[in-house]
Amino acid sequence: MTGSAIFDKTAAELAAAKAALAKALAEAARARSEADAEIARLTGKLERQAAMLDKLAYVNEELERQQRELLASRWRKLGLRLRLAKRASFEG
C-alpha cells in the first residue's frame, strides 16, 4: 500500500467520522430543543398549580374565618341552648 492510498483511506475515515459527528450533534441539538420545550411546558404547569394552591389556601382561610364567626355567633349559642340548633360534627 502506498502512502497516498493510506492517506486516502484515512481521509475517507476522517470524513465518515466527521459526518457521523455532525449527525450526532444535530440529533443532540434536536433532543435539547425537545427537552427545553418539555421543561417550559412543565414549568408552566407547575406555575399554574402553584397559583391554584395559593387560591385554594386563600379560599380555605376565608371559609375558616366564616366558620369561626358562625360558631361564635350569639344567635347560634342561643339556638344550641334552646335546642333549636344541632352541634356540628366537628364541634365535639
Task: Give the torsion through C-alpha atoms of 79, 82, 86, 91, to 10 deg.
Answer: 80
Record the pTM: 0.55
Q: Where are the domains of the chain?
A: 3-91
Contacts of 69 (CB under 8 A, 6+ apart): none
- Give the pLDDT confidence score for residue 4 in this predicted structure: 63
pLDDT of residue 22: 96
Distance CA 18, CA 63 (A): 67
The residue type found at 28 is A
User: pLDDT tens digits, residue range 2-59?
Assistant: 556 656 678 888 889 999 999 999 999 999 999 999 999 999 999 999 999 999 999 9
CA–CA dist 62, 78 (Å, integer): 25
Residue found under cell 497516498: 4
**pLDDT of 5:** 60
Strand residues in 1-92 grouped as ranges (E): none
pLDDT-based confidence at 1, cuts 50/70/90?
A: low
